[in-house]
Amino acid sequence: MSAIRQHLIDPEVCIRCNTCEENCPIDGAITHNEDNYVVNVELCNYCMNCVAPCPTGAIDHWRMVSTPYSLEEQFEWDELPDETEVATTESGLANASHEALEDEANEILDVAHQGQQGKVLPPFSAAHPFINIYTRENPAIATVAGNYRITSEDSESDIHHIVLDFGTTAFPVLEGQSIGVIPPGKDARGKAHNVRLYSVASPRDGERPNHNNLSLTVKRVVFEEDGVVKKGVGSNYVCDLKKGDQVQVTGAFGSTFLMPNHPEANIMMICTGTGSAPFRAMTERRRRKRQPGDKGKMMLFFGARTKGDLPYFGPLNKLPDSLIRKELCFSREADQPKEYVQDRILKCADDVAAWLKDDQTFIYLCGLKGMELGVEEAFAKTCRDHGLDWPALRNKMRESGRYHVETY
């Protein structure tokens, strides 16, 4: 029997954020149950699209095996099995042949890791991010300093702004990174709850400047299943936190969806709902750091059903136009035509095209998965109408760390 290099996901490190499954181009190659995310050895073609976007590195594990681990085995894992010596034939192939198999597998992976398949680089001027300093086994402990609802009281969208204080515990984060929150207790099967991932909504020097704290933007999830109303475990835990409560935190996560530091950078941000969190962080960072004569501009396309559903609506409107251009779009506002972010991009096509032609432009999408296709189509049409090739431009921007997408 021959040996293969099998792609596996470490269940101890994985935070179940679904990034790998979303980025996999092969339907069914990555799948999940209530416990684990797993790789189907029969479908995986080592394209590596899933590796770079993974915020924790859980996806990047490989084992030489003579008999591949089945999906059923992987679904039951609490940790990866120990490394085992592979017998490559029933009679025991020579060590040299086994080493040759290992070398061949490593060479394939080295080439794949070096390629740009699915990999987006961070902006060249982004600060160095710290990753995975705190884990489930060794979390940081934060104290809730504030919890505020930031959508209108009559809105069905209950979104909260939560401030976490880390006291004397160092917890460095950058704009665009995320943290993990560990909900207390266990699920119906007696297992500890999975870590929930949330984008940081404050700049690197804190929600309050030079204080060791950060903020999150979290929407309470309530849904109906089989006629029964259910509440999302993580979101309801976070939205119900009281001042003084202590929270277990992991991370930070994310090494590419980062803010450019150079003041010449033009930052175009496109979001819905809680996808605004990283953009609040970037905008506040730019506001605090900008100097007279800085050339970089900011433009925000922000979509919601109504003004009451749009988080930070009041504070956002108070930001000066000299800092950020605000394009707010509403799909259910009374006495207004339905409009989505892609519609507003097309209305602003001349200005958007000018930004796309500028090598100092960095584009970020964050929010619901459903907006991604519409935004892509809007960029494609804008480019066609202005003599640009969107697929080629998008690839060039990705390769230079200037086009970033985080949707869910």
Residue boundaries of the structural domains of the chain = 4-114, 140-253, 266-407
Predicted confidence band at 119 (pLDDT cuts at 50, 70, 90)? low
Cα angle 268, 261, 255; round to 5:
85
pLDDT band at 84 (very low <50, low <70, confident <90, very high): low
Note if 14 is an active site residue: no
CA-to-CA distance for 55 and 61, rounded, in angstroms?
A: 14
Distance between CA atoms of 280 and 322, rounded to whole angstroms? 16
160: which 2 tokens? 């909260």
For β-strands 178-182 and 196-199, DSSP reports them as antiparallel
User: What is the rounded CA–CA span in Å between residue 206 and residue 395?
Assistant: 34
Answer whether residue 96 shows pLDDT above 60.
no
pLDDT at 13: 75
258: nearest Cα among 54, 59, 119, 120 = 120
Q: Mean pLDDT throughout 110-124?
A: 62
102 carries an active-site annotation: no
Alpha-carbon distance of 226 to 341, in angstroms, equals 33
CATH number of 4-114: 3.30.70.20
Output the pTM of the full model: 0.80
**Residue 219 C-beta-side C-alpha neighbours within 13 Å:** 20
213, amino acid identity = N
Q: Is 198 a catalytic residue?
A: yes
Measured in residues, the chain has a length of: 408
How do the residues of the chain divide into helix, strand and coil, expressed in percent and rounded to 5? 25, 25, 50
Domain 140-253: which CATH number of 1.10.600.10, 3.10.290.10, 2.40.30.10, 3.40.50.300: 2.40.30.10
User: Given the DSSP bridges, would you call strands 266-272 and 228-231 parallel, antiparallel or unpaired?
Assistant: unpaired
406 is catalytic: yes
DSSP state of 293: T
**Residues 257, 176 contacting (CB under 8 angstroms):** yes
CA distance 81 to 62: 11
pLDDT averaged over every residue in the chain: 88
Q: What letters, b where the CB count within 10 A reaches 16 and e where it falls short, cover 190-223? A: eeebbbbbbbbbbbbbbbeeeebbbbbbbbbeee
DSSP-H helix ranges across 19-63 = 19-23
Catalytic residue among 155, 157, 178, 199, which?
Answer: 199
- Class in CATH terms, 266-407: alpha beta
pLDDT in tens, 295-312: 999 999 999 999 999 999
Tokens 């207790």 -> residue: 185
What pLDDT is attached to residue 194? Answer: 86
H-state helical runs in 46-180:
71-76, 95-114
Q: Using one digit for the tens of pLDDT, what is the confidence trace for 12-45? A: 778 787 888 888 889 899 999 878 899 998 998 8
Q: Is the pLDDT of residue 59 over 80?
A: yes
Contact 215, 255 (CB under 8 A): no
Identify the active-site residue in 24, 366, 383, 403: 366
What does the alpha-carbon distance between residue 144 and residue 103 come to, in Å, rounded to a whole number? Answer: 50
Amino acid at 77: W
State mean pLDDT over 305-323.
93
Find the catalytic residue in 17, 50, 155, 198.
198
Tokens of 66: 């003579």
Q: Tell me: pLDDT of 344 over 50.
A: yes
